[in-house]
Amino acid sequence: MWRNKVQLLFVAMIIFLASCKTTEKLSKSSVSNITDARLRNQLIDNELEYKKLYLKKVQFNFNDGSQRKSFKGSFVIEKDSQIVVSIFPLMGIELVRVRLTPDDVIIIDKHNKVVTYTNYEYFNRRYGLSLNYYAVQSILTNAVFLYPVEVDNYEGLKKYKHYIEKDHYAFKALKDNRFDRIVGRGKDDVIQHEMFIYPDVFRIFKMNIKDLVKNQSIKIDYSNFINFGSSLFPEQINFVATQEENTFEVGLKINYLEIDDGGSLYFKIPSAYKTKVL
């Protein structure tokens, strides 16, 4: 009996240590010459591999220009299928539960007992965000996505051209000189999408989107890459979208990460709640 307890304790310690984060701060370093195809393949090959991803004990910071709030919560991502978001106040029980699928978004407001049914077009109308489910999934998992969104990100990436900077790589939808010429001629029907990549691990550390059609910019920063067990992942994700005078900002600080384990996808809509469609 005593031996069994020791073995169980030992196994529990291994599981705990595997889920903990260890610091491995990345920095930009010297880069070597590379082709578009090789950089593209390295970027794809070094994405996080998972079927289910659990981001737990996440610190949310939210600001839409009219209100600024902080929460704690979690994300459970079932790849290419659904994302379940749970939001808590800094102290207390779950207040909001959200499910995103490729087709729709459902928000359960437990405090006000309201269920809201909406889709990604609503966020486009309200915040100017032309993002679909797969783009949101990619943002949360530090993966490639294209803008405007495309069905096949990897195939679409073949149209991008890369640059070799002093200490990092970059993929851009338009060459800098072409973008500058178009803007210089007063054109307002162009979109520039840029991805900046660490040379040693081929992971994206920043994205910039300049959408002159909608007079919008989006900036995504990934910082403090850390080993969660054996998986390298950014501890901090900051997303800022600006359209004319309006700003939408979300900051995420990720404390724990579990791959193919943990996290509940349970999502039940209470029948007594009021419903709203946006």
**Would the pLDDT of 43 be above 70?**
yes
> How much of the chain, in percent, has pLDDT values that exceed 90?
63
pLDDT in tens, 66-84: 889 899 999 999 999 999 9
**Predicted TM-score (pTM) of this structure:** 0.86
Residue 248: helix, strand or coil by DSSP? strand
Average pLDDT of the chain?
A: 87
Binning the chain into helix, strand and coil, the percentages to the nearest 5 are: 20, 40, 40
For the chain, give every domain's residue range.
Answer: 25-277
Number of CB atoms found within 10 A of residue 125's CB: 10
**Domain at 25-277: CATH code:** 2.50.20.10
Residue 2 scores a pLDDT above 70? no
Q: Identify which of 127, 157, 92 has the alpha carbon closest to the alpha carbon of residue 246.
A: 127
Take residue 121 and report the two structure tokens written for it: 């077009």
Reported confidence tier of residue 17, pLDDT bands at 50, 70, 90: very low
- pLDDT tens, residue by residue, 145-199: 998 887 788 888 999 999 998 899 999 999 888 887 887 787 777 899 999 999 9
Which pLDDT does position 56 carry in this prediction?
A: 92
